Amino acid sequence: MELRTQRVRAGHIELSCLVYASSLGTADPADAHTMRRLARGFGVIASFLSDDFTIDYVSETRFASFKNRLNDFARRNAGCVLPNRAFKEELKDELASALYMGDDTFAERPTGDLFPWIAQR
């Protein structure tokens, strides 16, 4: 149940980032791009949580640290109406704490079916 709740929350954050990016439209393409990248990061987090394979990509310790950092981030930014540059940079850093493996390597599943034997059932 906890994984489902976490996955749904990550999905809500992803959707919020996408809606905000869409509202920026062509008025601020760089900011819209930043918000889409943040959405992608939360989509990856939701993907990890959706099938309980997080441990294959991000250690349990690292993921627990990410959750704690994100909770701290939420407390520090409570009441923020529109994300400013500092908010977005800090959120990007929080995502990086879980998803970036060093040298700008992004922990993300490759495209395609990783487990074709499951689909055959």
73 belongs to a structural domain: yes
pLDDT per residue, tens digit, the chain (121 aa), is: 677 788 788 888 888 888 988 998 888 899 888 888 888 888 888 877 766 555 456 677 877 888 898 889 889 888 877 778 888 888 888 888 877 655 444 555 444 454 444 444 4
Which residue, among 66, 31, 65, has the nearest Cα to 45 in the 3D structure? 66
113 belongs to a structural domain: no
Could you give the count of Cα atoms lying within 13 Å of 22 in the half-sphere of its Cβ? 7
CA–CA gap between residue 42 and residue 58 (Å, rounded): 14
14 belongs to a structural domain: yes
Q: Residue 2: its pLDDT value, please?
A: 74
For 49, counting Cβ atoms within 10 Å of its Cβ (0-12 exposed, 13-18 middle, 19+ buried), the class is buried
Give yes or no for a contact between 57 and 107, defined as CB atoms under 8 angstroms apart.
yes
Q: Does the predicted TM-score (pTM) go above 0.75? A: no
Q: Residue 61: its pLDDT value, please?
A: 81
50 belongs to a structural domain: yes
112 belongs to a structural domain: no
Q: Residue 72: its pLDDT value, please?
A: 92
Domain count, the chain: 1
Give the domain extent around 41.
Answer: 2-103
78 belongs to a structural domain: yes
108 belongs to a structural domain: no
116 belongs to a structural domain: no
